Amino acid sequence: MAKKISFSSDYTKGAHPRILERLAETNFDQQPGYGTDDICKSAAEKIKKACNAPQADVFFLVGGTQTNQTIIDMLLKPYEGVVAAQTGHVAAHEAGAIEFSGHKVLTLNSFPEDSNNSKAVYSDQVGKIMAKDLRALIDGFYADDNHEHMVFPGAVYISHPTEYGTLYSKAELEEISAICREKKIPLFLDGARLGYGLMSRRTDVTLEDIAKLVDVFYIGGTKVGALFGEAVVFTKGAPTAHPVPIIKQHGALLAKGWLLGLQFDTLFKDNLYMDISKNAIDMAEILRAKLEEKGYPIYIDSPTNQQFIVMEDDKLSVLAEHVGYGFWEKTDENHTVIRLATDWATTKEDIEELMKWL
Amino acid sequence: MAKKISFSSDYTKGAHPRILERLAETNFDQQPGYGTDDICKSAAEKIKKACNAPQADVFFLVGGTQTNQTIIDMLLKPYEGVVAAQTGHVAAHEAGAIEFSGHKVLTLNSFPEDSNNSKAVYSDQVGKIMAKDLRALIDGFYADDNHEHMVFPGAVYISHPTEYGTLYSKAELEEISAICREKKIPLFLDGARLGYGLMSRRTDVTLEDIAKLVDVFYIGGTKVGALFGEAVVFTKGAPTAHPVPIIKQHGALLAKGWLLGLQFDTLFKDNLYMDISKNAIDMAEILRAKLEEKGYPIYIDSPTNQQFIVMEDDKLSVLAEHVGYGFWEKTDENHTVIRLATDWATTKEDIEELMKWL
Amino acid sequence: MAKKISFSSDYTKGAHPRILERLAETNFDQQPGYGTDDICKSAAEKIKKACNAPQADVFFLVGGTQTNQTIIDMLLKPYEGVVAAQTGHVAAHEAGAIEFSGHKVLTLNSFPEDSNNSKAVYSDQVGKIMAKDLRALIDGFYADDNHEHMVFPGAVYISHPTEYGTLYSKAELEEISAICREKKIPLFLDGARLGYGLMSRRTDVTLEDIAKLVDVFYIGGTKVGALFGEAVVFTKGAPTAHPVPIIKQHGALLAKGWLLGLQFDTLFKDNLYMDISKNAIDMAEILRAKLEEKGYPIYIDSPTNQQFIVMEDDKLSVLAEHVGYGFWEKTDENHTVIRLATDWATTKEDIEELMKWL
Amino acid sequence: MAKKISFSSDYTKGAHPRILERLAETNFDQQPGYGTDDICKSAAEKIKKACNAPQADVFFLVGGTQTNQTIIDMLLKPYEGVVAAQTGHVAAHEAGAIEFSGHKVLTLNSFPEDSNNSKAVYSDQVGKIMAKDLRALIDGFYADDNHEHMVFPGAVYISHPTEYGTLYSKAELEEISAICREKKIPLFLDGARLGYGLMSRRTDVTLEDIAKLVDVFYIGGTKVGALFGEAVVFTKGAPTAHPVPIIKQHGALLAKGWLLGLQFDTLFKDNLYMDISKNAIDMAEILRAKLEEKGYPIYIDSPTNQQFIVMEDDKLSVLAEHVGYGFWEKTDENHTVIRLATDWATTKEDIEELMKWL
């Protein structure tokens, strides 16, 4: 039986072939452990240059939840929590990893009203936090006479793209950043799908903007061309003199750390990370046009590689036989929202194969 | 200068005189440490009898946050969180003590619509969780394909009275209890002000009902006649064979444990706990009648010892010179909600003194 | 049946009568909560004066394990542990409370050789850490190439008196303090029985010395005349701008905080704390003389209120019928080490009663 | 400049070529995430078969510290600690990862006397725990009247090979296992270098023996032919119905879990894991013979791939220019112990190159 094609997520395939080639080429080169090798240094330099952030500290960790947990634990004092959208990954889908390390997630509403008149049920604002809500939370906290009995807002977490594929505008990031700086609260941007955000046709945000506006962010590798790995960038230097024992304590210090460096060193050579991210966007745009053409209701007006449509369950069961998709939620008894994600390796043929069954 | 009278809270005074007398009488009796003494045993027996729960395990801890943290940590597996109202003490006012011990608080909306046509802004439902919301949260969790990446609902926390002075009806408790038993999730009732709930004129819930319907609850002493202390009742026995090291780990094992036993042994002799709780209610009813008479808008329709009214800020600044009150929140630029709490020792003269300045 | 007298520990009785009197006198005075009251301020001032430490911050907590856990958590960064004697309370007898809050206890040997030719099996050095061992641990740590994979020594914990009743000399404290300052590691002294150490006839250490030499210590109330309570003194100010939420997170913020202040305000008025501590020492010296007279082998050469002797088990079973004692350990099949502790309220009649059965 | 050869550790190279080949072959096959794929299932089956443990549960995690932390957290109740050699990885070299997750490491002496008359300073017993010490710790704990104030021994951790390259005999494992079963305490074997232990010429322990005698162990991949990865085997099934959220909470759930499965599926096909492990042993035996021939003092009598010798510092500085080695410790001012580790890919030419400089 032929292998079923899948659009269920952007982490279903291995790595960009150049990464595999380089793994093979360097396989018997011997490297020192724990990220102290020259390949990690080279990758960090390339990333700092791409970010125009010469003063940055760059670390490489293995996966998203691990990275979120470790960074947030580095940022917060014991009595502080992290502010996040209620739909943010750290709030909703990390099995309590933040609380496991002792910190509360302070949530903001992330289903803002649709002000865009988009044809989607949810506009391109869903999944984001609003600057005014952030300010209200912080000001409300300090205005409360009892705030020493409450959890201090000690860091702000945003994802870009969000878990719903949506993006902050540069103006929005600037506004959130300004609040964080005014309140001396570090701003952390989860870029698990950062490439797909940067290459969106509907963004005015660059990598350099992000490096300038946030205190720490990570460049996702797992979902963008790497076997695994996330590159953490503390834009103004790490908040601790001893990141290694903290990373080790979280079980996050990879023995063969150069495997992470090698992947990012490859992705940040010759613009590869951006090029393959652009592929996912190009394919998503083609996909979206075809979906609209066929009349599928768009559920979220996503400008990135994740597309969300509403399907009748009868048609969905036909689709399920031939193509993998991501279940999102039920809208009523007979309809389901599904996610279709393109990635760095999706081809036009893949889209055509998918459309055959839609 | 005369000491200012205060209605700011129900923990502004020492203890019922019988407790102080007994402390003096037994001061040089020597007792074994850590709650292994006979006075604790006697107090536990009295409480089990009052609850009609012969199979219960009773422990004595020092304060509310400590008790909530220790009990919830005993109830939950590492990957579980506790369900609570968003206004519940564990969610809002314990400085992240639950997260400090590794667990998420899963919150439910606690501002249900006013279905009672009460004259208050908020009805006597505010601060409570609704059975239907609880069921929706649990069912929604298990229906989610990704629930193994989410925090499991592992216990349910309710406060009775709530932080807003409101009460569950027996039918409501039965419904919540039934869901918890169906789902095999323990139900924990925070009774920091339990006496004031049981003695309310608008309750059909007895101590025996609570012992029957919940898995664990505590009988508040700090706010109801004791110097300090909360009596924890595991109605069907403790969930661990080794509560002592867990209590010790939380820094919650009092060396002179008999001080806790002695207070509850006194409070549960000759109906003292209920009698002094009734005093707070009687005084609250008088106070409320007078407040309504004077035309103060009632903010929350509370049937217990905490009363909430809206005041003009001009009048409030006059009051503040003569009487202590609890700041609750601002409703607009010129109005403030204040809390006026009666307690086990409030007198009619105290009420009159207060009304002089209102 | 007559109540059995007990020498099992120094926390078998209530509080000094002046404390009970003052509790009664102030019972209906209303106080603000959580230690924000004037009595706590007054007690803190008295303690700062007694310590000659005007710049100190003073907090009041309820019990020893709670205090150790909270202070150590305030002192340490996440990747740091606390250095302690292997017999230190935090290492051995707190049910893992330090590890519960995420930190390792790095232990030093505390059975140094007997250099004193004392008649006891263990000299007056047992239970203490040695400056040279502390220096070796710290230097060894930093000399290790892999120390970023190990737990950093982040604070030093000593108890004075130790769990074995022994005391540091002023010269020893100075040497340990000098190492800590050289290495920029805070020094914490657990003074659960501090009064009994200060009033020992064999000490050259004063309260002022301690305040000068350590970064934080606590003055034990539970074992020295209070119902409960430990006064924490950060000699150079608290290490955090927000101690309250940290204390609250540990379940250690007493609602009626003034109960703690009142006890220390009483103990630090008219030299009461020192006077009643001296009583315990006077009684211990009488006891020890009588024990030696009767030929009981002294097990530990303790200069404070805890005395340790070896008894034949046959004689012990007779004693057990009439007097409470503390089991310490078995030395062989027929002999047992017992602890006999005097306290602030022990009388000569108590000693005579005890000696009747020895 | 020619790349310097290194014997510094066994994690300096990539992966066995068959793993890289298979990664390339399957790179664009799409897999479901988080270890739910068929390759993981296949690898688990192969491992269960190799262990003759059909009832086992097998998980794949990324690295050693992460695996130790996650397993120990699964095994222990909150008030329990893990017993380990003082030199065990979890006790000494994981930056406090066990304490970070709330548990104490209860240590046993691991420098037993040399009973073997070996020519090494330390015999082949160093780094191991002794059954009699384990029994003494457990019995001593329960015999202590105060044990509810202490940390319960809740699991036993052993490494095989140990951090010093030494091995337990089958009889020793049986004795330790028998104690654990008698006391109902789970036994956990850290097999980060398991292949090198199983292929030692001086062992009578098989993979099947281990699966029979311990409750959980892991088969190290990182140091034995994989890019990364450790295969955890719960020999009698997992101790929790929900391992996934616990793994996720520890930041240890790899998105592309099949990468782990694929590596172990390859290593456990055609005896590859054992064959390449044997290579390391063969090379270590050649190396040791040559070292002894040249008169280098053997420091630890290791029967596995790690060899330890004492070198004069003058000679060492020459060596350092041409070959990588592992610094172990200084024995005096002029001598240093170094570790020379062979691995799955070491060749005779590598040994010859090394010997040129020794």
What ipTM score was computed for the predicted complex, to two decimals?
A: 0.96
CB-based contact, D256 to chain A, within 8 Å: yes
- Please state, in angstroms and rounded to a whole number, the distance separating the CA atoms of residues B117 and B136: 26
Q: What is the distance in angstroms between the Cα of C68 and the nearest Cα belonging to chain D? A: 14
Task: Give, to the nearest 10 degrees, the angle between helix C258-267 and helix C272-293.
Answer: 70
Question: Where is pLDDT greater, at B120 or D30?
Answer: D30
User: What does the alpha-carbon distance between residue C142 and residue C152 come to, in Å, rounded to a whole number?
Assistant: 9
User: What stretch of H or E contains C280?
Assistant: helix C272-293
3-class secondary-structure state, position B348 = helix
Q: Which residue's structure tokens are 């090494």?
A: D120
Question: Which of B33, B32, B52 is closest to B210 using CA atoms?
Answer: B52
Band the pLDDT of B110: cuts 50, 70, 90.
confident
Closest Cα partner for D218 from A60, D135, D226, D172? D226
Q: D330 or C339: which carries more pLDDT confidence?
A: C339
> Is B152's Cβ below 8 Å from some Cβ in D?
yes
Residues of D in contact with B242 (CB under 8 A): 77, 79, 148, 152
Neighbours of A45 (CB within 10 A): 14
Neighbours of chain C (3+ CB pairs under 8 A): A, B, D
Edge-first strand order for the sheet with D298-300 is D298-300, D306-312, D335-341, D326-332
**Contact between A256 and D5 using a beta-carbon 8 Å cutoff:** no
| Nearest residue in B to A144, CA atom | B329
Mean of pLDDT values over B158-164? 98
**Residue labelled with tokens 């923990």:** B11
Nearest CA in chain C to D143: C329
Q: Are C188 and C328 in contact (CB under 8 A)?
A: no
Burial of D199 (0-12, 13-18, 19+ CB in 10 A): buried
Residues 6+ apart with CB under 8 A from D45: none
In sequence order, what are the residues at sequence separation of 6 or more whose Cβ sits closer than 8 angstroms to the Cβ of residue A170?
A204, A205, A209
Contacts of B152 in chain D (CB under 8 A): 242, 245
- D28 in reach of chain A (CB within 8 A): yes
- Determine contact, residues C49/C122, Cβ cutoff 8 Å: no
Facing residue for B152 by CB, picked from D73, D151, D245: D245
Give the separation between CA D313 and CA D331, rounded to whole angstroms.
11
Taking CB atoms and an 8 Å limit, are C327 and D96 in contact across chains? no
Q: Does A14 touch chain C (CB under 8 A)?
A: no
Q: What does the alpha-carbon distance between residue D174 and residue D178 come to, in Å, rounded to a whole number?
A: 6
C192 vs C160: CA distance, rounded Å: 8
Give chains near B: 3+ CB pairs under 8 A.
A, C, D
Place of tokens 């009981």: C296
Q: What's the gap in Å between the CA of C330 and the closest CA on chain A? A: 40
Rounded average pLDDT over C216-229: 98
Written as six digits, the tokens of B357 are: 């300045």
- Alpha-carbon torsion (A47, A53, A57, A62), positive or negative: negative
| Chains with 3 or more CB pairs under 8 A to chain A | B, C, D
Strands, DSSP E only, in B172-255? 187-190, 216-220, 230-234
Work out the mean pLDDT of chain B and round it to a whole number: 95
Q: Is C76 on the interface with A (CB under 8 A)?
A: no
Mean per-residue pLDDT over chain D, rounded: 95
So what's the pLDDT on residue D92? Answer: 96
| Rounded-to-integer distance, Cα A111 and Cα C225, Å | 59
Is pLDDT above 60 for C2?
A: no
pLDDT at D160 over 80: yes
Q: What is the pLDDT of residue B1?
A: 43
Q: Where residue C1 falls among pLDDT bands split at 50, 70, 90? A: very low
In this structure, the number of other CB atoms found within 10 A of the CB of residue B119 comes to 10
Rounded to an integer, what distance in angstroms lies between the CA atom of residue D155 and that of residue D152? 9
Degrees to nearest 5, angle at CA C260 with C255 and C262: 120
Smallest Cβ distance to C95: which of D92, D145, D151? D151
| Residue A83: its H or E element | strand A80-85
Report d(CA B189, CA B218) in Å as an integer: 7
Query: How far, in Å, CA of D215 to CA of D202, rounded?
Result: 24
User: How, if at all, do strands A335-341 and A326-332 pair?
Assistant: antiparallel
Q: At what angle do helices C38-51 and C258-267 cross, to 10 degrees?
A: 40
What was the pLDDT predicted at B123?
A: 86
pLDDT digit string (tens) for A53-110? Answer: 999 999 999 999 999 999 999 999 999 999 999 999 999 999 999 999 999 999 999 8
Spell out the residues 6+ positions from residue B184 whose beta carbon is closer than 8 angstroms to its own.
none
In chain B the first and final C-alpha atoms are separated, in Å, by 21
Q: Rounded to the nearest 10 degrees, what angle do helices B258-267 and B17-25 cross at?
A: 130
Nearest to A252 among D5, D251, D253 (CB): D251
Max mean pLDDT among A325-329, C332-336, D247-251 falls in D247-251
Comparing C-alpha atoms, which of C106, C77, C91 is closest to residue D92? C106
Contact C323, C5 (CB under 8 A): yes
Print pLDDT tens along chain A (358 aa): 456 899 999 999 999 999 999 999 999 999 999 999 999 999 999 999 999 999 999 999 999 999 999 999 999 999 999 999 999 999 999 999 999 999 999 999 987 655 555 667 788 899 999 999 999 999 999 999 899 999 999 999 999 999 999 999 999 999 999 999 999 999 999 999 999 999 999 999 999 999 999 999 999 999 999 999 999 999 999 999 999 999 999 999 999 999 999 999 999 999 999 999 999 999 999 999 999 999 999 999 999 999 999 999 999 999 999 999 999 988 899 999 999 999 999 999 999 999 999 8
State whether residue D327 sits within 8 Å of chain C by CB.
yes
Distance from CA of C89 to the nearest CA of D (A): 10
